[in-house]
Amino acid sequence: MNIGITVFPTYGGSGIVGSELGRELATRGHKVHFISYALPTRLCKLDERTQFHQVDLFDYPLFEFPPYDLALASKIFEVAEAQKLDVLHMHYAIPHATAAYLAREMYKPTRYLPFVTTLHGTDITLVGSRKSFLPITKFSIAQSDAVTSISQYLAQETCRTFGLGGVEVIPNFINAQDYQRRPNESLRASLAPRGEKLLMHVSNFRPVKRINDCIHTFARLRGAVPARLVLCGDGPERAGAEQLAQDYGLADDVIFAGQVPNIAEYLSVANLLLVPSETESFGLAALEALACEVPVIATAVGGLPEVVREGETGYLVPLGDIEAMAKRAREILTDERKQRTLGAQGRLWAVEQFNTERVIPQYEALYERLAASARR
Ligand code: GMT
């Protein structure tokens, strides 16, 4: 099939999922057209089956806020016509579903081009539910030919916030080959030169990720077990977290690794992953860690309980409960057998439930269904 995909290319989990989906579809023989303002960061390779179409943004003095949504809709229309797209897949409702709706309506006199909207989380829980966006978000989701969400939790939230049912749950996925434990000894030695245990966190350091909770937790482990904390990623909360680590006198043992190109390599040397988020509709980083045999300690919020199984692949703790997080971390770090058992079970669960062979066909079936009914 010829599939058009739009994502936010530089920031956030929805862009990663959309890009990796495109890559997987291309390896299965589809032709994938990414339509966005920049090349998605996780998309290293363009080829005959994976193409990128850049949205032209026109900076005119009258436009204090250049209308990206309109430029995107025009680009989708242009690509649909030139590439004979069969279906569009929009990741993140705002403004992508709205742009797809406009493109579909513009293209209707020629052909009906169905679009799927995949909801990722903050497009419902934070941004889409704001008064200024609610009516257009609700309208654009309702106009979608199919709506999917990445967890049961998010499907329920969509129903609660917008009164919209019929959302199909297709969870996020991992490529079990790319995400597996392959410890790189020199990386491990550089992060833990005295053989310390490594606690890890991976995110975009937005307030919702509560990265300070990682540092508070780490501070409570001090003395109990020689360890270091590695924070992968970057974002607005970084400076505050660096200050907090200094205030605790922990600056030498808290490593801000920045954006790391190969996250599986980092996860492969971790002893556990901390996910203290305030809300998380899925928690892709948690799934990636499980696939790399890393036990996860996460807050029992949003869709995280659908990814992390309490006592089996890690632990779920109440939001903001630093003591509980530190207690669970101590248990894992001081008991190598427990760490290995949780890790092995995590890998098994991740591969059984969320591997690409299981999930990608669900998207393919959905595209086929929509394209068939559009042809009719
Ligand atoms: O929270 C982020 O990092 C960005 C956000 C997004 O939409 O790009 O992430 C959401 O989508 C991810 C991929 O599907 C999920 O794994 C995250 O849980 C979700 N974030 C939130 O719900 C806060």
Q: What does the block give as tokens for 208?
A: 């919702």
- The pLDDT value recorded for residue 126 is 78
Task: Give the DSSP H or E segment for 169.
Answer: strand 168-169
Pocket of ligand 1 (CB under 6 A): 12-14, 17, 92, 120-122, 150, 172, 204, 208, 279-284
Question: Please, what is the average pLDDT of the chain?
Answer: 95
Over residues 271-295, mean pLDDT: 97
Which of 7, 14, 172, 287 is the best mutation target for the ligand 1 pocket, counting ligand atoms within 8 Å of the beta carbon and taking the most?
14
Rounded-to-integer distance, Cα 326 and Cα 218, Å: 7
Q: Which residues contact 355 (CB under 8 A, 6 or more apart)?
A: 173, 174, 175, 176
Over residues 201-230, mean pLDDT: 95
Task: Report CA(281)–ligand 1 centroid distance (Å).
Answer: 6
Instruction: Give one DSSP letter per residue of 108-135, joined into a string.
Output: TTT----EEEEE-SHHHHTSTTSTTTHH
Rounded-to-integer distance, Cα 22 and Cα 26, Å: 6
Q: Tell me: the pLDDT tens digits for 38-87?
A: 998 777 689 999 999 999 988 888 888 889 999 999 999 999 999 999 99
Q: Whose CA is nearest to atom 3 of ligand 1?
A: 12
Residue ranges and CATH numbers for the domains of the chain are 2-173+356-375 (3.40.50.2000), 185-354 (3.40.50.2000)
- The pLDDT value recorded for residue 343 is 98
Other beta carbons within 10 angstroms of residue 246's beta carbon come to 12
Rounded-to-integer distance, Cα 212 and Cα 217, Å: 9
Instruction: Tell me which residue of 90, 163, 150, 88 sits closest to 120, measured CA to CA.
Output: 150
Whether the pLDDT of residue 129 is over 90: the answer is no
Whether the pLDDT of residue 5 is over 80: the answer is yes
- The pLDDT value recorded for residue 287 is 98
CB under 8 A, 24+ apart: contacts of 318-323: 319/276, 319/278, 320/210, 320/213, 320/276, 322/213, 322/216, 322/217, 322/220, 323/220
Task: Report CA(372)–ligand 1 centroid distance (Å).
Answer: 31
Task: Report CA(181)–ligand 1 centroid distance (Å).
Answer: 24
Over residues 113-137, mean pLDDT: 90
Rounded-to-integer distance, Cα 94 and Cα 11, Å: 14
- The pLDDT value recorded for residue 216 is 98
Q: Whose CA is nearest to atom 4 of ligand 1?
A: 12
Whether the pLDDT of residue 205 is over 90: the answer is yes
Which residues sit opposite 200 in a β-bridge?
230, 273
Structure confidence at residue 376 as a pLDDT band (50, 70, 90): confident
Query: Within 13 A of 252's CA, how many CA atoms are on the CB side?
Result: 6
Task: Report CA(58)–ligand 1 centroid distance (Å).
Answer: 29
Task: Report CA(203)–ligand 1 centroid distance (Å).
Answer: 10
Structure confidence at residue 237 as a pLDDT band (50, 70, 90): very high
Q: Tell me: the pLDDT tens digits for 316-357?
A: 999 999 999 999 999 999 999 999 999 999 999 999 999 999
Q: What pTM value is reported for the model?
A: 0.94
Percent of the chain with pLDDT over 70: 100
- The pLDDT value recorded for residue 157 is 94
